[in-house]
Amino acid sequence: MNARTPRLVLPKPFLRRLEGAGIYCQTWATAERQARTGRWVLRAVESGGASKDIGRYIGFFAMSGDRLPWLQRLDRITASGVHAVTVADELLSVEMARCDQTYQLLIAAHRLGPIQEMKRPPVLSTVVYRGVDGQLSPELRQQGLTPEFFSRSGEVRPIPERYVDAVRLVTTGVTCINCRHTHALVERPAPISAAS
């Protein structure tokens, strides 16, 4: 993990409640070296879930907001933990926390920093969008909407259009009780057979 990683700032009692509910969210990306090619990549783990009252979930996407394939799924005894791993040159994270109908949102971009010989490059992360205390009723959630966020002066702060679908998927995760799904990453498409 990296001290400069932008994060959702969550109060300690909320974090304790998440821990008590067994909801685990791995919110960082790491730099990993592929031994065969010597290439550095980012590795991240989609994770999280919900109980009835609270939730936390992080999904990873392409910078465009498009869905990425998973490298592998992670089956675990416990729910609302790690779901699947992805590796990519750059990643967009969409992280949400939910207390009842109130949502916190952080969208961040992650890239590898300069690569110096034999040294692990830093992960450079920047905030793309931060939404504080957004509201979404269960009725609107069932219609597939995302929470709505306001500025401190009461103006709507729209989620950037190209990330709305990603936020919608993560909204599903942060409201999914005892989650065992992979809401954001998708199965890698099968290679096109030469015979077909």
State the number of binding residues for Zn ion (CB under 5 A): 3
| 33, containing H or E segment | strand 29-33
Q: Are 119 and 31 contacting, i.e. CB atoms less than 8 angstroms apart?
A: no
Q: How many angstroms separate the Cα of 126 from the Cα of each of 12, 102, 146, 193?
A: 24, 24, 22, 40
Candidates 73, 76, 162, 181: give the one binding Zn ion (CB under 5 A): 181
**CA count, 13 A, side-chain hemisphere, 31:** 19
Tell me how far, at minimum, the Cβ of 179 lies from Zn ion, in Å: 3
Q: Are 91 and 60 contacting, i.e. CB atoms less than 8 angstroms apart?
A: yes
| 87, containing H or E segment | strand 82-88
Tell me how far, at minimum, the Cβ of 103 lies from Zn ion, in Å: 16
Of 112, 71, 59, the residue nearest 90 (C-alpha): 112
Nearer to Zn ion, 94 or 176 (CB): 176
Residue 179 contacts Zn ion per CB under 5 A:
yes
Bridge partners (DSSP) of residue 177 are 50
Give the interface segment with Zn ion, choosing from 34-42, 57-65, 129-137, 169-177 (CB under 5 A): 169-177
Q: Are 84 and 46 contacting, i.e. CB atoms less than 8 angstroms apart?
A: yes
Tell me how far, at minimum, the Cβ of 34 lies from Zn ion, in Å: 30
Nearer to Zn ion, 176 or 184 (CB): 176
Give the interface segment with Zn ion, choosing from 14-22, 28-36, 139-147, 171-179 (CB under 5 A): 171-179
Draw the binding track, 122-161, toward Zn ion (x: CB under 5 A; -: no contact): ----------------------------------------
Candidates 25, 97, 176, 184: give the one binding Zn ion (CB under 5 A): 176
Footprint on this chain of Zn ion (rule: CB under 5 A) = 176, 179, 181
